[in-house]
Amino acid sequence: MSAELRHQLQLPPCDQVGFVVADMDASLARYEPLFGPFTTMDPGPMSYNYRGREETCDMKLAFGRSGELEIELIQWVRGGCPHKEFLDAGREGMHHLRFRIDSLEATVAAAQELGYTSIWDKRYGEGLAVAYLERASDPLLIELFENHHG
């Protein structure tokens, strides 16, 4: 991502790199030596607006660190979501970069002017929302995360 694009969207430094993995246990064994112990999470079914429709998906998650940078491992279990698309395309590995932002709607609108499309999003409540954005011919997704609760 160019400095100009980060400036245009008023993005802070990236705070998370997300990896989609086919096998969580094998990936934990592979990446724990690099990123320390991971905290795992099985949040159960989650509903999101996915490409214009409500879709429920299930994933396994794990979180590690590299200094200030969070490393997220995501194993798709079931349902429609960008992570399944990634695996269906025969890919595994780096999937998205996350940026914490003040206003999801305003930043998504600015990103749309630069050729991005929101493909997966949810507003959990006041001050808490997420969106994945894609851009044609760019395999890396951008995650925007609004969190005014900590």
CATH architecture assignment, domain 3-147:
Roll (3.10)
Model confidence at 138: pLDDT above 80: yes
Segments making up each domain of the chain, as ranges: 3-147
Q: 35-89 pLDDT, tens per residue?
A: 989 999 999 999 999 999 999 999 999 999 999 999 999 999 999 999 999 999 9
Residues 6+ apart with CB under 8 A from 133: 108, 111, 116, 117, 118, 119, 141, 142, 143, 144
Confidence of residue 4 (pLDDT cuts 50, 70, 90): confident
Confidence of residue 1 (pLDDT cuts 50, 70, 90): low
Enter the pTM of the model: 0.94
